[in-house]
Amino acid sequence: MRTPPRLQPLIEEGLIDTVVRQLMSGKEAMVFVVRLGEDTLCAKVYKEATHRSFRQAVDYTENRKVKNSRQARAMAKGTKFGKQAMEAAWQSAEVDALYRLADAGVRVPTPYNFAEGVLLMELVTDAEGDAAPRLNDVAFSEADALAHHATLLREVVRMLCAGVVHGDLSEFNILLAADGPVIIDLPQAVDAAGNNHAARMLLRDVANLRAFFGQFAPALKTTRYGEEIWQLYQHGALTVETPLTGRYAPQQGAVDLEAVMREVEDARMEEAARILRMQQAG
């Protein structure tokens, strides 16, 4: 195919050889299949952040470090320079999170390079070697739903132990590779200890997994893994090997996770309604 202008500098610098095809286009990025020698990779080309609400960006970028106070002030005011700085921070956050989580053994695409606003990473494939589908495009047996749910809960825990909350985890940003689920799309990842919204985001991530896999395995619908995981994390008792029960018993004086969970469920229902409206409009 004709080389997109944003990828031409990477060819000139020898970071990729050819562009094979476009894989997908979303509101935040376009993704292309590219080749480098004998390797087939994935190139994520970021778009300008014209569709994200400023409030949402503030929630996700709280406590993120920026280069200087001028950038911080501009980002807070929402000026043109501030929006450019926020977009750069948004992109670098995904790159940083991807490398951090890959090093921690989380099931994410292997990152290779980041240049010219393009993230080069592993192309996640299915058993036939084709681009892996998203979970929302796949139907599961009850046994497979339970198995994949358990795998992803363990990945959520592994991420949290690495100090990261995905912040937008759902069936739309998890791929089903030949060897199981792989988590993608991390620009909204937040620092678990430094972001006041981390608990709400963690609970929402886990609630999304429960809602999706609960369609195929109804027993999951009554589980409370999110609250259990966060409570263990708060008490310094969470490790990647910690056994989970799916049960949650509120403790005296603890953060009101019940109230947080009600807020999470409201937000999840609003997002589901928005997605349904988009699908019907299409």
* pLDDT tens digits, 209-225: 999 999 999 999 999 99
Mean pLDDT for all residues in the chain = 83
C-alpha to C-alpha distance for 153 and 158, rounded to whole angstroms: 9
Please report which confidence band the pLDDT of residue 53 belongs to, taking 50, 70 and 90 as the band edges: very low
What domains, with CATH codes, occur in the chain?
Answer: 1-122 (3.30.200.20), 132-282 (1.10.510.10)
Q: Distance between alpha carbon 230 and the CA centroid of its chain, in Å?
A: 18
Alpha-helical segments (H) within the chain = 8-12, 54-61, 69-77, 80-103, 142-161, 198-214, 225-234, 257-281
pLDDT of 282 over the 70 cut: no
Query: Higher-confidence residue: 106 or 29?
Result: 106
pLDDT of 244 over the 90 cut: yes
Length of the chain: 282
pLDDT of residue 267: 63
Please report which confidence band the pLDDT of residue 75 belongs to, taking 50, 70 and 90 as the band edges: very low
Average pLDDT over every residue of 84-94: 61
Average pLDDT over every residue of 263-278: 61
C-alpha to C-alpha distance for 174 and 269, rounded to whole angstroms: 19
* pLDDT tens digits, 150-207: 999 999 999 999 999 999 999 999 999 999 999 999 988 999 998 889 999 999 999 9
pLDDT of 47 over the 90 cut: no
pLDDT of residue 92: 75
DSSP string, 205-236: HHHHHHHHHHTT-GGGGG--HHHHHHHHHHTT
Q: What percent of the chain has pLDDT over 70?
A: 73
Q: What share of the chain is helix, strand, coil (3-state, %, to 5)?
A: 45, 15, 35
pLDDT of 54 over the 90 cut: no
pLDDT of 93 over the 70 cut: yes
- b/e sequence 128-165, b meaning 16+ C-beta within 10 Å: eeebbebbeeeebeeeebbbbbeebbbbbbbbbbbbbb
Average pLDDT over every residue of 114-119: 90
Q: What percent of the chain has pLDDT over 90?
A: 63
